[in-house]
């Protein structure tokens, strides 16, 4: 695949520099050059519009070394080297759209609302040399921007990323860094997963044990879900939480960047941290002996979903104290987060302890509930009333469909798209975040080289994400989002590795018009053009798109047959079976391979031309044998 980072390429292939792809792009000839005469004009008295001008000033002044001023409205036609931000009235671009026009003498960004100016600024940054992402001033950079005209607006109003800060705690600064990265690709919704079995992360006044006890566990390293149970002498000092002042600061930081925050309080399952803090929220005797999970096995998944709980990690639907507790929590969450929705979880709720509970049996008899799904539905409907009493809309994972959906509930469809289809046909609002395309905690290449998780999602597959299924009225689909669960994500560097570049694919799915999204090779080129910018910003990303994809089967004579492919075009695969490290002087893969009789290792690497581009992968023949046997 041909890549170009030259000035010629920038002038003639402006669209190759941009993710998500705009609605329309027209390239011109020449460049606008930012220099010490450049002035930013904000043609509006709107506070948020002025803030966009200040963001632009701060970034350009820092990287160019020029003190670029921001001024008010200027009608002078003789001014040159100006960047103008203006609010207009144009029904075609909506509240978040913009028009960006670059000539040799002036740049204009026009939008109906300040959010559009902000997204136009993000596009402008992508048109600039990669050094715009630098963390320190660099001399001798020509700050040229190709002449072009862009009209752009989003396909969906809900363009989200979910950040699980419960399984591993991430600080306020980490969350703000996450916001900084997501807005570059025009995301406008941060879904914060604030509570789970591994930690309660938000201060609730009057319920101090939620953070004194529920926010802390024993640090374990290895594979989540397989850890040994913590011993009494292991310190429970791993974790943390956000004070309410922290939350206010995060919310303001996000709002300043036109990001809404969706808080999630995951109930009635995934509630061990709450139960440990307040055992009387449980139906089960002995809950006062429980501890916040550190990633040891607490659920049996061998029977599918819902799982069978080994300890009771649920809130008791038959206990009035639970609803009083939730009223307190939702009151404060509603006050802290101005966004119109509260996410209440509802997923993966085991019911085996409910089945043993006399209080739940009495509830079923009293309310005429026929099964455990209806018990959970009873819980969800009561919780919906609590959430709505706080002036908020109620949202949950697609399990809340089971047993009867609460009257006004919005559904986030994660177990594929079927839950979203069902909810939309019932005329409920839907956000699509299916595991098949949008789970960013999944491995992004072969398990032999990726950090181990239980499933794989290739960039190519993420790019195929379509938020509106066939036969569904689009007006019920709010949009879509990618979900980053953090069971195996301990730090920000690994978070970045899991997020990028797949979050670029999700960003494009929820911003770019559908009819422009069938060009994988074009998208792959644009992804690669982003990588140097990530290098400048010192943001980590996964190179997995360059690695070969293995497909293994058995021949008629019961030999292993190995087929190799690549996600992107123009790569060559070289291999060895003799335990040495192949390069482009080794055999090139051209047809399926049969391992030599006594071979123990297949090593492969991808090249573009004469340069290695993929990682060296060492694949044991024994592993290939297992895969072939499983594919019978």
Q: What's the pLDDT tens digit per position in 166-223?
A: 999 999 999 999 999 999 999 999 999 999 999 999 999 999 999 999 999 999 999 9
Question: What's the 3-state SS for 153-215?
Answer: CCCCCEEEEEEECCCCCCCHHHHHHHHHHHHCCCCCEEEEECEECCEECECCCCCCHHHHCCC
Instruction: Tell me phi and psi for residue 611, to 5 degrees.
Output: -115, 130
Strands 106-111 and 98-102, sheet pairing? antiparallel
Six-digit token string for 589: 């893969």
Closest CA to 539 of 133, 193, 51, 48: 133
Q: How far apart are CA 179 and CA 183, in angstroms?
A: 6
Smallest CA-to-CA distance from 387 within 286, 488, 517, 265 is with 265
| Spatial CB neighbours of 216, under 8 Å, sequence gap ≥ 6 | 199, 236, 237, 238, 239, 292
Cα separation, 249 vs 172, in Å, equals: 8
> What pLDDT is attached to residue 75?
58
270 is catalytic: yes
3-state secondary structure 101-144: EECCCEEEEEECCHHHHHHHHHHHHHHCCHHHHCCCCCCCCCCE
Cβ(566)–Cβ(548) below 8 Å: yes
Report H helices in 282-371.
Answer: 320-336, 352-356, 358-367
Over residues 18-28, the pLDDT tens digits come to 999 999 999 99
Residue whose structure tokens are 């929590």: 329
Residue 233 falls in the annotated catalytic set: no
- The answer to whether 455 and 442 are in contact (CB under 8 A) is yes
Is 196 among the catalytic positions? yes
Query: In angstroms, what CA-CA distances link 431 with 158, 189, 257, 475?
Result: 8, 12, 22, 11
Task: Please state whether beta strands 82-87 and 106-111 pair in parallel, antiparallel, or not at all (unpaired).
Answer: parallel
Residue 351 and residue 283: Cα distance in Å, rounded?
11
Nearest residue to 97 (alpha-carbon basis) of 43, 156, 47 = 156
For 362-501, list the strands marked E by DSSP.
393-397, 410-413, 430-432, 477-484
DSSP of 495-540, one letter per residue? HHHHHTTHHHHHHHHHHS-GGG---HHHHHHHHHHHHHHHHHHT--
- The answer to whether the CB of 408 falls within 8 A of the CB of 344 is no
Q: How far apart are CA 311 and CA 270, in angstroms?
A: 11
Cβ–Cβ under 8 Å, residues 217 and 290: no
Q: Look at the alpha carbons of 86, 87, 88, 91 in this order and tell me if their dihedral is positive or negative.
A: positive
DSSP state of 228: P
Set out the domains of the chain in order of their start, with CATH numbers: 7-152 (3.30.379.10), 158-512 (3.20.20.80), 547-630 (2.60.40)
Rounded Cα gap, residues 72 and 284, in angstroms: 65
Q: How many helices (H) and strands (E) does the chain have?
A: 18, 27
Catalytic member of 197, 347, 348, 446: 348
**Given the residues 270, 291, 343, 428, the one annotated as active site:** 270
Give phi and psi for 189, each to the nearest 5.
Answer: -140, 120
Provide the whole-model pTM: 0.96
Question: Tens of pLDDT along 388-401?
Answer: 999 999 999 999 99
- What's phi and psi for 442, nearest 5 deg? -70, 155
Nearest C-alpha neighbor of 418 from the set 463, 469, 384: 469
Share of the chain residues as helix, strand and coil, in percent rounded to the nearest 5? 35, 20, 45
**Active-site choice (16, 96, 164, 196):** 196
Provide the sign of the torsion angle of the four alpha carbons 554, 556, 559, 561, taken in this order: negative
Please name which of 362, 392, 202, 379 lies closest in space to residue 281, comparing C-alpha atoms. 379
Percent of the chain with pLDDT over 70: 97
- Characterize the bridge pairing of strands 216-217 and 238-239: antiparallel
- Note the pLDDT of residue 4: 41
Alpha helix segments (H runs only) across 204-268? 209-212, 244-256
pLDDT digits (tens, 9 = 90+) for 426-476: 999 999 999 999 999 999 999 999 999 999 999 999 999 999 999 999 999
In the three-class reduction of DSSP (H, G, I as helix; E, B as strand; rest coil), residue 261 is classed as strand
Question: For the chain, which residues score pLDDT lower than 70?
Answer: 1-12, 74-79
């Amino acid at each position: 695949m041909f890549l170009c980072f030259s000035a010629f390429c920038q002038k003639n292939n402006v669209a190759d520099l941009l993710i998500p792809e705009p609605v329309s792009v027209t390239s011109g000839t020449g460049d606008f050059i930012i220099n010490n005469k450049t002035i930013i004009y904000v043609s509006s008295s709107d506070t948020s519009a002025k803030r966009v001008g200040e963001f632009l000033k701060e970034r350009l002044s820092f990287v160019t070394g020029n003190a670029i001023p921001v001024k008010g409205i200027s009608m002078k036609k003789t001014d040159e080297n100006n960047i103008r931000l203006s609010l207009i009235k144009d029904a075609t671009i909506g509240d978040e759209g913009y028009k960006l026009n670059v000539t040799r003498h002036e740049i204009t960004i026009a939008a109906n609302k300040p959010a559009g100016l902000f997204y136009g600024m993000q596009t402008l940054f992508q048109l600039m040399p990669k050094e715009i992402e630098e963390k320190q001033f660099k001399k001798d950079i020509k700050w040229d921007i190709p002449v072009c005209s862009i009209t752009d607006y989003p396909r969906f109003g809900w363009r989200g990323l979910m950040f699980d800060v419960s399984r591993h705690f991430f600080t306020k600064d980490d969350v703000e860094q996450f916001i900084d990265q997501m807005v570059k690709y025009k995301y406008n919704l941060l879904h914060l997963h604030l509570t789970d079995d591994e930690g309660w992360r938000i201060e609730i006044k009057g319920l101090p044990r939620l953070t004194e006890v529920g926010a802390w566990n024993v640090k374990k390293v290895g594979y989540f879900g397989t850890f040994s149970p913590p011993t009494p002498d292991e310190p429970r000092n791993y974790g943390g939480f956000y004070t309410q002042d922290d939350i206010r600061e995060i919310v303001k930081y996000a709002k300043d960047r036109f990001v809404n925050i969706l808080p999630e309080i995951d109930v009635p399952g995934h509630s061990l941290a709450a139960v440990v803090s307040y055992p009387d929220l449980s139906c089960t005797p002995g809950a006062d002996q429980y501890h916040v999970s550190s990633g040891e096995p607490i659920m049996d998944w061998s029977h599918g979903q819902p799982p069978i709980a080994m300890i009771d990690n649920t809130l008791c639907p038959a206990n009035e104290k639970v609803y009083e507790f939730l009223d307190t929590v939702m009151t404060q969450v509603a006050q802290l987060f101005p966004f119109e929705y509260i996410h209440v979880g509802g997923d993966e709720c085991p019911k085996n302890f409910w089945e043993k509970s006399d209080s739940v049996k009495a509830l079923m008899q009293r309310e005429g509930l026929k099964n455990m799904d209806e018990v959970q539905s009873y819980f969800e409907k009561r919780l919906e009333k609590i959430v709505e009493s706080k002036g908020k809309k109620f949202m949950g994972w697609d399990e809340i469909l089971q047993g009867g959906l609460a009257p006004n509930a919005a559904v986030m469809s994660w177990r594929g798209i079927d839950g979203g289809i069902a909810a939309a046909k019932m005329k409920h609002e839907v956000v699509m975040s299916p595991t098949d395309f949008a789970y960013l905690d999944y491995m992004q290449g072969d398990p032999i080289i990726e950090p181990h998780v239980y499933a794989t999602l290739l960039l190519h597959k993420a790019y195929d994400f379509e938020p509106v299924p066939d036969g569904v009225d689009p007006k019920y689909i709010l949009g879509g989002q990618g979900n980053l669960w953090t069971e195996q994500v301990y730090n920000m560097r690994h978070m970045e590795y899991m997020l990028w570049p797949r979050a670029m694919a999700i960003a494009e799915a929820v911003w770019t018009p559908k009819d422009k999204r069938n060009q994988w090779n074009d998208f792959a080129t644009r992804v690669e053009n982003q990588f140097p910018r990530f290098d400048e910003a010192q943001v980590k990303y996964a190179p997995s798109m360059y690695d070969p994809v293995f497909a293994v089967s058995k021949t008629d004579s019961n030999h292993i047959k190995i087929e190799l492919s690549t996600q992107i075009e123009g790569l060559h695969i070289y291999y060895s079976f003799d335990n040495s490290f192949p390069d482009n002087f080794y055999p090139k893969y051209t047809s399926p391979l049969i391992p030599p009789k006594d071979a123990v290792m297949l090593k492969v690497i991808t090249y573009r031309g004469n340069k290695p581009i993929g990682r060296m992968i060492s694949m044991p023949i024994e592993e290939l044998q297992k895969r072939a046997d499983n594919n019978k």
